[in-house]
Structure 1
Amino acid sequence: MNKTLSLSLISLALLGACTSPSPNAPLRYSVPEQPEAASGVTAKPGWAYGRQAVAAANPLATDAGLQILRAGGSALDAAIAVQMVLGLVEPQSSGIAGGAFLLHFDGQKVTAHDGRETAPATAQSDLFLGADGKPLPFDEAVLSGRSVGVPGALRMLEAAHRQHGQLPWAQLFTPAITLAELGFKVSPRLHTLLQTDPHLKKDPLAARFFYTAEGQAWPVGHVLRNPEYAHVLRRITNEGSLALHEGPVAQAIVQRVQSPPRPGSLSLQDLRDYRPREREALCFDHTAQARALRICGFPPPSSGQIAIGQILGMLSRASAQGPELAGGLPSPDFLHRYTEASRLAFADRAQYVADPDFVSAPAGDWRSLLAPAYLAQRSQLIGAQSMKLATPGQPSGTATSWAPMPAQTEYGTSHISVVDAKGRAVAMTTTIEAAFGARRMVTTDPARPGGFLLNNQLTDFSFAPADAQGRLIANRVEPGKRPRSSMSPTLVFDPATGQLLMSGGSPGGALIIHYTAKLLTGTLHWGLNAQQAVSLPNFGSLNGPTLLESKGFPSSTVDALKARGHDVREMEMTSGLQAIERTPSGWFGGADPRREGVVLGD
Structure 2
Amino acid sequence: MNDRTHRHDTLPRTWAACLAAVLLTACAASDSLAPYPGKHTRAEEALIQPEGPSGQRLRIGRSFDRHAVATAHPAASAAGLEMLRAGGSAIDAAIAAQMVLTLVEPQSSGIGGGAFLLHHDGRRVQAFDGRETAPRGVRTDMFVGPDGKPVPFMQAVVGSQSVGVPGTVSMLGMAHRQHGRLPWGRLFEPAIRLADDGFELSPRLHTLLAAEQALRDDPVARAYFYRPDGQPHPVGHQLRNPELAEVLRQLARRGPEAMQDGPVADAIVQKVREHPSRPGALDQADLRAYTPREREPLCFDHAAPPRQLRICGFPPPSSGALAIGQILGLLARAPGNALALGGTPDAAWLHTYTEASRLAFADRARYVADPERVAPPAGRWQSLLDPVYLDERARLIGPRRAARVEAGEPTGRVSAWAPMPEQPEYGTSHISVVDAHGNALAMTTTIEAGFGSRLMVSTNPARPGGFLLNNQLTDFSFVPADESGRRVANRVEPGKRPRSSMSPTLVFDRATGELLMSTGSPGGALIIHFTAKTLLGTWHGGLSPQSAIDLPNFGSLGGPVLLEAERFPASTVQVLEQRGHTVNQVPMPSGIQALQRAPDGRWLGGADPRREGLVAGD
Shorter-chain TM range is over 0.9
Give the counterpart letter for 1:346 in structure 2. Answer: F
Percent identity reads 62
Q: 3-state SS of the aligned residue for 2:411?
A: helix
Equivalent in 479, 483, 490 of residue 464 of structure 1? 479
Cα 1:466–1:522 shift into 2, 3 Å:
same
Match of residue 387 from structure 1:
402
Aligned-partner Cα distance in 2 for 1:398–1:60: 52
CA distance in 1, matches of 2:401, 2:216: 44
Partner of 1:24: none
Q: Which amino acid aligns with 2:81?
A: L
| Corresponding residue of 1:298 | 314
Contact 2:341 2:536 in 1 (8 A): no
Aligned residue number for residue 28 of structure 2: 35
Trace 1:161-180 onto structure 2 (pairs within 5 A): 161-180=176-195
Q: Which amino acid aligns with 2:194?
A: L
Partner of 1:600: 616
Counterpart for residue 279 of structure 2 = 263
Shift of 1:325: 5.3
Q: Does 1:244 align with 2:259?
A: yes
Q: For residue 198 of structure 2, what is the aligned residue in structure 1? A: 183
SS state at 2:490 partner = coil
Inter-CA distance 297–323: structure 2 relative to 1 (3 Å threshold): closer
* Distance in 2 of aligned mates of 1:396 and 1:127: 32
Question: For the residues of structure 2 that align with 1:323 and 1:261, how far apart are their CA atoms?
Answer: 51
CA contact (8 A) 2:14 2:28 kept: no
Question: Conserved in 2, the CA contact under 8 Å of 1:388 and 1:545?
Answer: no
Q: Using the TM superposition, give the Cα deviation of residue 249 of structure 1 relative to its aligned residue in structure 2, in angstroms.
A: 1.1
1:585 shift after superposition: 4.2
Give the distance between the partners of 1:60 and 1:459, measured in 2 at CA: 30
Distance 1:246 1:17 in 2: 36
| Residues 234-243 or 162-171, more deviating | 234-243
Offset at 1:31?
Answer: 2.9
Inter-partner Cα distance in structure 2 for 1:446 and 1:295: 47
Q: How far 1:36 sits from its partner (Å)? A: 3.2
Deviation at 1:134, TM superposition (A): 1.6
Q: Which 5+ residue runs of structure 1 have no aligned equivalent?
A: 1-5, 20-28
The answer as to whether partners of 2:25 and 2:194 remain within 8 angstroms in 1 is no
Residue 431 of structure 1 deviates from its aligned partner by: 0.1
In 2, the alpha carbon distance for the partners of 1:231 and 1:260 equals 26
Kindly report the root-mean-square deviation, in angstroms, between the aligned alpha carbons of the 2 structures: 1.6
- For normalisation by structure 2, the TM-score amounts to 0.93
Structure 1: how far apart are the matches of 2:602 and 2:538? Answer: 16
2:98 alignment partner in structure 1: 83
- In structure 2, the residue matched to 1:336 is 351
Amino acid at match of 2:387: P
User: In 2, Cα distance between the equivalents of 1:18 and 1:421?
Assistant: 19
TM-score (norm 1): 0.95
Asked whether 1:215 is paired with 2:215, we answer no
Decide whether the 8 Å contact of 2:341 with 2:537 is kept in 1.
no
Could you tell me how far 1:144 is from its partner in structure 2?
2.1
Indicate if the aligned counterparts of 1:54 and 1:65 stay in contact, CA closer than 8 A. yes
Instruction: Give the aligned length.
Output: 587
Report the equivalent of 1:411. 426
Conservation of the 8 A alpha-carbon contact between 1:590 and 1:598: yes
Q: CA deviation at 1:269?
A: 0.2
Q: Within 2, Cα distance between the matches of 1:294 and 1:35?
A: 39
Residue 517 (structure 1) aligned to one of 529, 532, 536: 532
- Kindly indicate whether the alpha-carbon contact (under 8 Å) linking 1:118 and 1:149 is maintained by their aligned counterparts in 2: yes
Q: Using a 3 Å threshold, how does the CA distance of structure 1 residues 210 and 15 change in structure 2: closer, same or farther? A: closer
1:381-408: CA deviation from partner (whole Å, max 9, x where unpaired) = 0000011541100013143110000000
What does the per-residue CA deviation read over 1:481-529, in whole Å, with 9 as the maximum and x for residues that have no partner? 0000000000000011111000000000000000000000000111011
Letter in 1 for 2:281: S
Please tell me the residue identity of whatever aligns with 1:562: E
Task: Report the Cα distance in structure 2 between the residues aligned to 1:160 and 1:346, rounded to whole angstroms.
Answer: 31
Structure 2 residue aligned with 1:100, among 84, 93, 115? 115
Closer, same or farther: CA 544–178 of 1 in aligned 2, 3 Å: same
Q: In 1, distance between residues paired with 2:540 and 2:153?
A: 38
Alpha-carbon distance change, 51 to 17 in structure 1, aligned in 2, over 3 angstroms? farther
Task: Look up the SS of the partner of 1:574 in the other structure.
Answer: coil
Once structures 1 and 2 are overlaid, which stretch shifts more, 283-292 or 109-118? 283-292
AA in 2 matched with 1:587:
W
Equivalent position SS for 1:301: coil
CA distance in structure 1 between the aligned counterparts of 2:14 and 2:400, rounded to whole angstroms: 48
What is the deviation of 1:133? Answer: 2.2
Deviation at 1:320, TM superposition (A): 2.1
122, 130, 133: which is aligned to 1:118? 133
Cα drift, residue 321 of structure 1: 7.5
Match in the other structure for 2:606: 590
1:342 and 1:99 map into 2 onto residues whose CA distance is 26
| Structure 2 match to 1:486 | 501
TM-aligned CA deviation for residue 104 of structure 1: 0.4
2:578 aligns to what? 563
Give me the whole-angstrom Cα distance separating, in 1, the residues matched to 2:201 and 2:173.
29
Structure 1 residues 440 and 76: alpha-carbon distance in aligned structure 2, compared to 1, 3 A threshold: same
